[in-house]
Amino acid sequence: MALKCGIVGLPNVGKSTLFNCLSNAKAQSANFPFCTIEPNVGTISVPDPRLEKLEELVNPERVVPTTMEIVDIAGLVKGASKGEGLGNQFLANIRETDAIIHVLRCFDDGNIIHVDGSVGPIRDKEVIDYELQLKDLEVIEKKITSLARVIKSGDKDAIKENETALRIKACLEEGKSVRSLDFDEKEREFVKGFHLITAKPVMYLCNVDEASVVNGNKYVDEVKEAVKDEDAQVLIIGAKIEADITELETYEERQMFLDELGLEEPGVNRLIRSAYKLLNLDTYFTAGVKEVRAWTIKKGMTAPQAAGVIHTDFEKGFIRAEVMKYNDFTTLGSENAVKEAGKFRVEGKEYVVEDGDIMHFRFNV
């Protein structure tokens, strides 16, 4: 599933450094604005300890983790909605992503230039929010104008769509993002069709120094307070530390370094899993001697839809799904043991796949 998270933020907040840590696709990282001009796209593996356990039990020829795409987008500046800097390009690139990772600089360092001359994560957040909201306002005003002609015919759907658009317009004019509004199912369909940037789910990534990587600092506290009413995640990470970790050659060296910092795992692992969750994704597994593999699905997918992720023929010719729960399989140790315990299930077309299901599909084309 080609779902993307876009890394955004003002110039020099650590976006490209983080991207370099996340992906083998190396973005240029330098101490000046706009070092990232073309968006860099990296496909990254999602760390999942369940795969290691399945590998241990099944002993397959290969193990394939699930993946997601991260896009490093050029830094935005004031006036981007009017085309300043790389504004038009930035806004076009971010519109193509499914969720936003908003990097905020939450550390002091006189050697790293801030585009506004001082550290202020809330100010930085508001700069980007304002530009994105202005662009969305432009889009929604055009939509309201186009709907005006249809409403005159008495089209009920158009009237409902216009009411939704007017609510969004009022929200944006108050300086709030569209994601702060609650919508019913029909309204969500309209919103999806509007393609609004501030309707996308967001994670605020607080880039901190080494001393603040475990418990945060005053800047992180400011961010948490500022976004408490938004439906948004806040994650603390030290981009410089993550860069240092990637330079270490062995697992043992990395683990020693993490232990010294009081960390259980690299921050990028938490970031990737959080981004996966932000995209509203789940994982199911297929497990056999040839291959143990993780597959990405949207939450709420049915068994035929999940089968279609492997191949469209699986969905078209779906007959049934044979399902084991991950906890049952790893506790009992084998498929035969799961069957003997009466926990091996056969499910039909209406079955909604759950995160961690181990599945085998029967189909006929």
Assign residue 310 the CATH number of its domain.
3.10.20.30
Note whether 309 and 1 are within 8 A (CB).
yes
Residues 155 and 213 both lie in one domain: yes
CATH number of the domain at 198, please: 3.40.50.300
Q: Is the pLDDT of residue 149 over 80?
A: yes
Residue 31 marked ligand-binding: no
Does the structure show a pLDDT above 60 at 87? no
Domain that residue 65 falls in: 4-278
CA distances from 113 to 11, 14, 19, 121 (A): 9, 11, 19, 14
Task: Note whether 244 and 320 are same-domain residues.
Answer: no
* CA-based torsion, 8, 12, 13, 14: positive or negative: positive
pLDDT category of residue 37 using cuts at 50, 70 and 90: very low
Going by pLDDT thresholds of 50, 70 and 90, the confidence category of residue 41 is: confident
Residue ending a domain, choose from 247, 278, 309 = 278
Task: Report the run of H or E that residue 130 belongs to, with start and end.
Answer: helix 121-151
Residue closest to 197 by CA, chosen among 274, 84, 96: 96
Among 225, 248, 278, the domain-final residue is: 278
Does residue 240 sit in the same domain as residue 350? no
Q: For residue range 73-83, what is the model confidence (pLDDT) as tens digits?
A: 766 656 554 55
For residue 15, say whether it is annotated as part of any ligand binding site. Answer: yes
Residue 348 marked in a binding site: no
* Residue 221 lies inside a defined structural domain of this protein: yes
Same domain, 216 and 312: no
Render pLDDT for 239-263 as a digit per residue (tens, 0 to 9). Answer: 888 888 888 878 888 889 888 888 8
pLDDT mean across residues, the chain = 86
Q: Are residues 182 and 260 in the same domain?
A: yes
Q: Is residue 336 part of a domain?
A: yes
Which tens digit of pLDDT belongs to each residue from 302-358?
A: 999 999 999 999 999 999 999 999 999 999 999 999 999 999 999 999 999 999 999
Q: Which residue has the higher pLDDT, 1 or 33?
A: 1
Same domain, 178 and 306: no
